[in-house]
């Protein structure tokens, strides 16, 4: 696994000025993506529920980077950053779920095999994304 320093060296993470406005916008996008995930869940389109719940978590996590003055060029680098820099503030289960969903979303969007998503999985992912956003909101305030 790469570490944060390697992510910076490879250009997957870049230092910028901290930006509270971008952090807030990213949280707003996260909430919007979560609403889309809920809508697709109600419509029983569980693949899109997974994709949008992941997107909600991604944008929530990204808000911390904006707050810290970091931009990402890779979904993996976001995961690495949160795992290293926020391990004492974000429960490991959230960061692990973010990474699992990152991989699942990639497979759903780019893979050649059809993946069957069960209703209970989609429901669980919405709950995790919702809780994750709440945790992040407290950290960016």
Average per-residue pLDDT in the chain?
Answer: 96
pLDDT at 1 over 90: no
pLDDT at 59 over 90: yes
First to last CA, the chain: 30
Q: Is the pTM of this model over 0.85?
A: yes
Q: What is the pLDDT of residue 63?
A: 98
Dihedral angle computed from the Cα positions of residues 91, 16, 20 and 133, in that order, rounded to the nearest 10 degrees: -30
Q: What is the pLDDT of residue 81?
A: 98
Q: What is the pLDDT of residue 137?
A: 96
pLDDT band at 141 (very low <50, low <70, confident <90, very high): confident
Domain 19-140 = CATH 1.20.120.330:
yes
Domain layout of the chain by residue ranges: 19-140
Task: Using a pLDDT cut of 70, give the percent of the chain over it.
Answer: 100
């Amino acid at each position: 696994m790469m570490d944060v320093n390697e992510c910076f060296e490879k250009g997957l993470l870049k230092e910028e000025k901290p930006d509270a406005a971008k952090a807030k916008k990213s949280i707003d996008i996260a909430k919007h993506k979560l609403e889309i995930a809920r809508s697709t869940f109600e419509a029983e389109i569980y693949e899109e529920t997974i994709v949008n719940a992941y997107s909600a978590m991604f944008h929530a996590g990204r808000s911390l980077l904006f707050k810290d003055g970091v931009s990402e060029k890779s979904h993996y680098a976001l995961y690495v950053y949160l795992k290293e820099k926020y391990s004492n503030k974000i429960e490991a289960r959230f960061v692990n779920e973010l990474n699992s969903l990152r991989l699942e979303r990639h497979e759903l969007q780019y893979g050649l095999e059809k993946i069957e998503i069960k209703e209970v999985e989609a429901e669980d992912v919405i709950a995790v994304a919702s809780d994750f956003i709440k945790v992040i909101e407290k950290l960016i305030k």
